Structure 1
Amino acid sequence: MAMWNIEFTGKIPKLKNPVFIEGLPGIGNVGKLAVDFLIEEIKAKKIAEFTSFSFPHSVFINENNLVELPVIEVYYKKFKNKKKDLLILAGDVQPIDEESCYEFSNKVLEMANEFECSEIVTLGGIAMKTEPKNPGVFCTGNNKELITAYQKSIKTLNNDLYGVVGPIIGVSGVLLGLAGRKNMKAVSLLAETYGHPMYLGVKGTREILKILNKRFNLKLNFKTIDKEMDAINGDFSQAQLSPADLQRTKAIKKLRKSCNDVNYIG
């Protein structure tokens, strides 16, 4: 069996009724982009890093022409008011095979249980044959009451997935199933996006962020987010960021710096 270790990077915080949000690379990288934007926008702090020999056997080349191992990290955000705190799972990769995916997901749920998370939210994309102009977002999960609560607060959500959406592959899906076995409430938000492997589902990402913003009253600055998303889609960003770089968690920080340095972007 593969071994998954959690290395905490500092003092473990006391969180108030936290929600666990997962977003790893997948279709259109919708989930990954969403949590990367979220982490930057709310200034979440890193709390832990997962290490394992079940990562893909590769390294990334960074902007300094040095190699970096892929990472999966956990961030947290404490709020001063009555809002729920957040735990956010972000990273460059997914586990390499089915067994390691299950083992990793189980480890994630152990962490969520230790922090007494009130719900788990996984993020991902639904592959479409063409690029959707106005992507819809589907909602499913392991608890009808939680799904209904999302629908009541966000009227645009679609929960009619049967016969439309195929299996949810990877951590985003396995977390839902395993959480159900542990009596942990979990939902998945899946945005429509173009199913090309090199496509970045920016529009779908924005729709998911809008839902998270409303559900958890995050007060995200969408003017800033839209500017950075325009940079991702624009020729300038494509010249500055390689396809491999766009897979990296640090890509959003690089885009943010680029947007601030060049005022004609967006």
Structure 2
Amino acid sequence: MIEGLPGMGNVGKIATDFIIENLKAEKVIEIYSHSFPHCVLVNEENLIDLPKIEVYQKPLKDKTLLLIAGDVQPLDEVSCYEFCNILLDTFERNNGKEIITLGGIGQQEVPKSPKLYYTGNTKNIIKKYYSSILNNNLYGVVGPIMGVSGLLLGLAKTRKIPAISILAETYAHPAHVGLKEAKEILTYLNEKLSLKLDLNQIDDSESNDNNRKVIDNQKLKKLMKKPFITKINKGSETDYIG
């Protein structure tokens, strides 16, 4: 299972949405909840949608991939715990094996060459997903991993489900769209999981007009939609929002 909900730079959301689009994954669940923001979103047809989280699946050669995407995260601690436990219940009923969560580590400036970090809930899963492009030295670099991306790892550990989180350096500004950072994560996952993604569809060059990232493929412009981002207070370490 791969989870990528809104967070710092929306790195996880962009990466997961791209996988769903590129693999033409099938939507199997839509989740609406009173623990989501009390609002509606205006879509590309100028109509409204309730904020939701979606679950997709894609059969591959040697596995079936579950993908968790959406507009929002649960708003508070209780609903986040409930949501993550429901996800894990569903995951176990379907004989799930491993969990990967995706996100960003906020920086004070836009990273020219974003570094990738990873952590997990067992030493074995860390060893399995080792790569020279991933840095496992997060202690003192990143603060608490907040939201679904962090909590899934912790709750999965109590159920003895191996889980890792892959985090890319990104600019800690609410308007920043971390396409370049998401592409770094996608490049790693594409090779590690043999996803056969067409990464040429992502153009991570900077726009001269507004210094924003752009996507070449018209079908993927929806990845630029700005979702809700939960806020936490900043401490001495870099804060990460799942």
Tell whether the structures are fold-level matches, with TM greater than 0.5. yes
**Aligned: 1:203 with 2:209:** no
Residue matched to 1:63: 44
1:108 alignment partner AA? L
1:226 alignment partner AA? D
**Aligned: 1:120 with 2:99:** yes
Of the candidates 211, 225, 228, which is equivalent to residue 202 of structure 2? 225
Q: What SS does structure 1 have at the residue aligned with 2:91?
A: helix
% of aligned pairs identical? 51
Q: Output the CA distance in 2 between the equivalents of 1:187 and 1:247.
A: 24
Number of equivalent positions = 221
Q: Output the CA distance in 2 between the equivalents of 1:226 and 1:218.
A: 19
Q: What SS does structure 2 have at the residue aligned with 1:28?
A: helix
Structure with the greater relative contact order (CA < 8 A, sep ≥ 6): 1 or 2?
A: 2
Q: Output the CA distance in 2 between the equivalents of 1:63 and 1:245.
A: 10
* 1:115, distance to aligned residue in structure 2 (A): 1.1
Identify unmatched segments of 5+ residues in structure 1. 1-19, 249-266
Identify unmatched segments of 5+ residues in structure 2. 229-242
Cα shift readout 1:140-193 (whole Å, capped 9, x = no counterpart): 010111111111xx2211000000111001000000000001111100000000
**Aligned: 1:186 with 2:163:** yes
1:110 alignment partner AA? D
Residue matched to 1:136: 115
- Asked if the contact 2:201–2:215 (Cα under 8 Å) also holds between the matched residues in 1, the reply is no
* 1:73, distance to aligned residue in structure 2 (A): 0.5
- Asked if the contact 1:62–1:245 (Cα under 8 Å) also holds between the matched residues in 2, the reply is no
Q: What SS does structure 2 have at the residue aligned with 1:121?
A: strand
What is the RMSD of the two structures over their aligned residues, measured on CA atoms? Answer: 2.4
Residue matched to 1:88: 67
1:125 and 1:113, CA in 2 relative to 1: closer, same or farther beyond 3 A?
same
- Asked if the contact 1:84–1:216 (Cα under 8 Å) also holds between the matched residues in 2, the reply is no
Tell me the TM-score normalised to structure 2 length.
Answer: 0.85
* 1:236, distance to aligned residue in structure 2 (A): 10
* 1:132, distance to aligned residue in structure 2 (A): 0.5
1:195 alignment partner AA? A
1:242 and 1:184, CA in 2 relative to 1: closer, same or farther beyond 3 A?
closer
Of the candidates 151, 156, 166, which is equivalent to residue 143 of structure 2? 166
- Asked if the contact 2:203–2:215 (Cα under 8 Å) also holds between the matched residues in 1, the reply is no
1:63 alignment partner AA? E
* 1:225, distance to aligned residue in structure 2 (A): 2.6
* Higher fraction of helix: 1
**Aligned: 1:97 with 2:76:** yes
Tell me the TM-score normalised to structure 1 length.
Answer: 0.78
Bigger Rg, which one: 1
